[in-house]
Amino acid sequence: MRQSRLDPNIFKNEIFVTPAGGAVFVISFVILIRSLVMRNSYEIVIASAVLLLMLVFFIIGIWKSRKLKITETHWKPPFPVTADMINAGSGSETRITGLEASIPFFFRMHYLIKGFFYPSGSDSGCYTLVETSVPRGETSAQMALDFPMSGAFHGEGHCQLRDIFGLFSFSCGQPQPKTVKVRSAPCFGKKIHINAQSGAEDKRNKPSADEERYYMREYTPGDRLRDINWKSSDRIDTLITRISTDTQEKISRIEVHFRNYGQRAVNKKQRGSLEALWLLDRAKARMTYFLRSIKEQNSSFIFDVRTAQGNWEIMDEEDLDAFLEELAGFSFLPPVNEAAIAPNAGDLYVFSTACDDGLPAFLLACNPRPVTLFISQPAEQRIKNNEQRTESKKPIAETKLETEKLYIKDFLQKGCIPSFRLFNKGIKPLGVNTGRMEVNYAEIKI
C-alpha cells in the first residue's frame, strides 16, 4: 500500500485571518484613514468600532485557542465506508467526539477533515476538504464524509475556533490522522448459480476401520449419496449426511481472477485516467456482488482469488470482509507473466476491464476450461454492439445492464477537487468474446 502523501504542514496555520476578515480589516482601515483626513466624525466612529470589535475577537480567540491546544478530538467513519453512501440514503456519517470544551460567546467550534483522496488507488490525488459546525453545548457531532468512487483517503481531522462573523479562525486541538479505505458503490447484475461439482475439490480418503466414527448433519449440495443416512432421513423427513470426525469434508473451491492489469508503459497516462479508474471501480463492484451472492448461496464455498497484487483464500465472511477492504485500494499494475492455468479444475470466473490488453491471450490459454467473463467496457462499445445486432440480427451473448455514469460534479459536491492528470482520455473498447460473458458499461459525465 502506498504511503500517505499528506502534507505534514497542512494544519500548521495556528492563527490566521479569514478572507472575509481580511477584507473587512482593509476596508475599515482605509475608511478610517480617509475619515481622519476629511475629518468625518461619523465615519471615524464606524471604522473605529469595527476595528475595535475585530481586536476584541482576535484577543479572545488567541486566549481560548491556547487553552484548547491540548484538546483531543476523534473522528470515526462508519465501517465499511462505501462510495456515494450518503446519496444512496444509507444515513452513515462520520462521528466526531471529544468536543466537551466550553466555547466563548460569539464563537463556534468547527471541525474540518482535510486530505487527499486517491480514486481506485491511483497516483493522482484529489484534494479533499469537508467541515461542519458544532452546535453550542454539544459534545459530539456528525458530518458527511463521502466519496464518488472507491479508493483510499489519507486525511487529518482538526478543530478550529471561529467567531460568528467569520473574521478569524484559530487552530486548536491535536490533529488526528487517519487512512480510510473506500469500497465501490454497489453493483447489481444477474445472479450466478454455481453447482457444487463445478469447482475444484478438497478431499481426503478415510480409513475403512474408522467408518463407524462419524457425526450427523443436514445434507448440503455436493455431499456424496453414499454418506446419506437413509434411515434417519426417513424418520425426520430431512436428508441427513454422515460425516467422519477424521475426514475433511468435500469442499468446492471457486477460482476467481481479478485482472487489474493496465495498458503498457507507453499508455501510462491512459491507464491513470479517471475513465480507466471508473472502469476498474465497476469491475470491483461486480466482483464484490458476485462473491457475496455466492456466499449467500452456500457458505461452505471457498474462493481462490488471484489479483495483480497477490492471491487470497476466502473461507468465511471475516476473510471476505478483509479482502474487500484491501480490494478498495487496488489500482492498475503493469502486465506480468502469469502462471499456467490448471486444466480440468472446475469453472473459472474472470473479472477485467477494457484496459487489460492481455485478456484475449489469457482466455485462449484457459481452453478447454469453462470460463465466465465479467468485463467493464466504455459506453461506446454498447453503441457498437447495438449496431452489430442491427446488421446481423443475431443476439450477442451478454447480460443487458444500464450504463453506469460517474459525474465530475459529484467530486465537487463531496468536497473533492480532481487532479488535471485524471482527465486523459482514449480508452478503447476491448474486443473479446466468450461463451459466457457479462458486460458492464461505464462512462464519465460532466
More confident residue, 419 or 20: 20
Nearest to 109 by CA among 56, 52, 61: 61
370-405 pLDDT per residue, tens = 888 999 988 875 555 544 444 444 444 444 557 888
CA 280 to chain centre: 11
Per-residue confidence (pLDDT) for residue 10, from 0 to 100: 44
CATH number for 15-183 (one of 3.20.20.80, 3.40.50.920, 1.10.10.10, 2.60.40.1930): it is 2.60.40.1930
Find the mean pLDDT for residues 155-164: 90
Strand locations in 77-167, DSSP E?
Answer: 81-82, 94-97, 107-119, 126-134, 140-143, 151-163
399-426 pLDDT per residue, tens = 455 788 888 888 888 888 887 777 766 6
Torsion angles phi and psi, residue 27, rounded to 5: -65, -45
- Listed in sequence order, the DSSP H helices in 215-371 are 230-236, 268-271, 274-297, 317-327, 359-366
173-207 pLDDT per residue, tens = 888 899 999 999 888 777 777 765 455 554 444 44
Q: pLDDT band at residue 366, thresholds of 50, 70 and 90?
A: confident
Interatomic CA distance for residues 94 and 74, integer angstroms: 10
Interatomic CA distance for residues 79 and 85, integer angstroms: 11
Q: Which of 34-43, 178-187, 238-247 has the lowest mean pLDDT?
A: 238-247
**How many angstroms separate the first and last alpha carbons of the chain?**
31
Find the mean pLDDT for residues 216-224: 71
Interatomic CA distance for residues 32 and 168, integer angstroms: 21
Range(s) within the chain of domains with CATH label 2.60.40.1930: 15-183
Give the CA dihedral 183, 186, 187, 192, nearest 10 degrees: 90
252-281 pLDDT per residue, tens = 788 999 999 886 433 444 446 888 899 999
Interatomic CA distance for residues 129 and 155, integer angstroms: 9
Name the average pLDDT for the chain.
Answer: 79
| C-beta separation of 338 from 316 below 8 A | no
For residue 291, give the C-alpha cell.
Answer: 462473491
Torsion angles phi and psi, residue 92, rounded to 5: -80, 120
The set of residues, in sequence order, having a beta carbon less than 8 Å from that of 55 and lying 6+ positions away, is none
345-364 pLDDT per residue, tens = 678 899 999 888 888 888 88
For residue 228, give the C-alpha cell.
Answer: 446419506
